[in-house]
Structure 1
């Protein structure tokens, strides 16, 4: 192929800064989206995000055609990070300590993220990225529970299906009225974890199917 002409070279150079600017704007929007949804929940608008990012709303709409698209991108990142916490917890030798550490870390993130709690509660945002991230979290939770059970540190009858209801119990504490996120949830997580730990003489758990 021949060499570029002098006219082509400046044109190519101009495209690169434009692409960099577009990518920087996308990162600014995602960062602003995370902060706005965390503070205001899923009722926040694209206008709110644009204002927080210091960008025109048209720039936001060019990157994300609606709030659903932005929320999917934001919370896919959030859930991917929670999946990474679950994966990293598996490096802990003590299976029960690994499970407890993951629950504390994941719920600690939710405590300061209103949008994430609403997503956990209502599942109002969907998408392939979110579905994949949820499956990964579930898979890692199954591994954490299985290892704690195999080491004999998890009480009989507890399985991976109990993790989501436990998170919902803590979410109920987080939903208590208050101007700022309450740290009271940590108290109840300790109580729940003590109930999950294998101890001599524990009352057998009722079969979950018996309630149906």
Structure 2
């Protein structure tokens, strides 16, 4: 059998190839958009079938683009972690060490409050998530330097360590997740309390930015949590 050119005389084969590539790109964009929405609202426990249904494509199309859910997580959250790395670098460049520290942790908590999956990614191991792991490796030294600079400037209590911030930011994320259906901004109150506890002695405390949850709101938030677990 002789060689057959992939492009016919009238160019139809070439046009078909371009159309196929365009369709594949559109499908990938739809899959990523669906995954971003589902990870943000429901966390990492979603399945690729859920993503396919949300994107309006067959599950086979999802598997052709992403071998497994870990690979999809890597693609979706690389940009989020990259943004956090850039925020840490901007905080380090802020001439006011305390303002830089507060600005970074406030933006990190805001991102996590809006995106349930982001907090889960930051707390989880990076197995199978090479893209996310690379960006996290870049981010961590900048965060450590932001904390050290505030401590050396006498703005941060001298015994505060980077590991404390990892724990505290996830404490704030926990209240954000709990209260999200009732008051998505109440986490700001608890972040302010956390930061006050980290402030060096004799430094002024900022006013709390929002009111606490009422008893009725706490009850409603508990009911919303129970519904999510069913």
1:31 aligns with 2:44: no
| CA–CA distance in structure 2, aligned partners of residues 50 and 128 of structure 1 | 24
**Which structure would you say has the larger RCO, counting Cα contacts within 8 Å and 6 or more residues apart?**
1
1:60 aligns with 62
Kept after mapping to 1: 8 A contact 2:31/2:51: yes
Q: Write out aligned runs for 1:114-129 (5 A).
A: 114-123=116-125, 126-129=128-131
What is the DSSP-based 3-state SS (H/G/I as helix, E as strand, rest coil) of the residue aligned with 2:93? coil
1:167-190 CA distances to partner (integer Å, 9 max, x unpaired)?
A: 122133234366356422211110
2:138 aligns with 136
Of 159-168 and 9-18, deviating more is: 9-18
1:7 aligns with 2:26: no
What is the DSSP-based 3-state SS (H/G/I as helix, E as strand, rest coil) of the residue aligned with 2:60? helix
| CA–CA distance in structure 2, aligned partners of residues 11 and 98 of structure 1 | 56
1:71 aligns with 73
Deviation for aligned residue 1:26:
1.6
Kept after mapping to 1: 8 A contact 2:126/2:133: no
Kept after mapping to 2: 8 A contact 1:119/1:125: no
1:140-171 CA distances to partner (integer Å, 9 max, x unpaired)?
A: 20121122233322221223232211112213
| CA–CA distance in structure 2, aligned partners of residues 54 and 5 of structure 1 | 32
Deviation for aligned residue 1:63:
0.2
Task: Specify whether residues 35 and 178 from structure 1 end up closer, same or farther in structure 2 by C-alpha distance, changes over 3 A only.
Answer: closer
- Extract unaligned runs of 5+ from structure 2: 1-5, 204-230
Kept after mapping to 2: 8 A contact 1:32/1:52: yes
1:209 aligns with none
- Extract unaligned runs of 5+ from structure 1: 202-212
Task: Specify whether residues 122 and 12 from structure 1 end up closer, same or farther in structure 2 by C-alpha distance, changes over 3 A only.
Answer: same
Deviation for aligned residue 1:112:
2.0
TM-score (norm 1): 0.80
What is the DSSP-based 3-state SS (H/G/I as helix, E as strand, rest coil) of the residue aligned with 1:90? helix
| CA–CA distance in structure 1, aligned partners of residues 137 and 183 of structure 2 | 28
Kept after mapping to 1: 8 A contact 2:172/2:187: yes
State the superposition RMSD in angstroms: 2.6
Aligned residues: 198
1:18 aligns with 2:31: no
1:107 aligns with 109
Kept after mapping to 2: 8 A contact 1:112/1:181: no
Of 26-35 and 12-21, deviating more is: 12-21
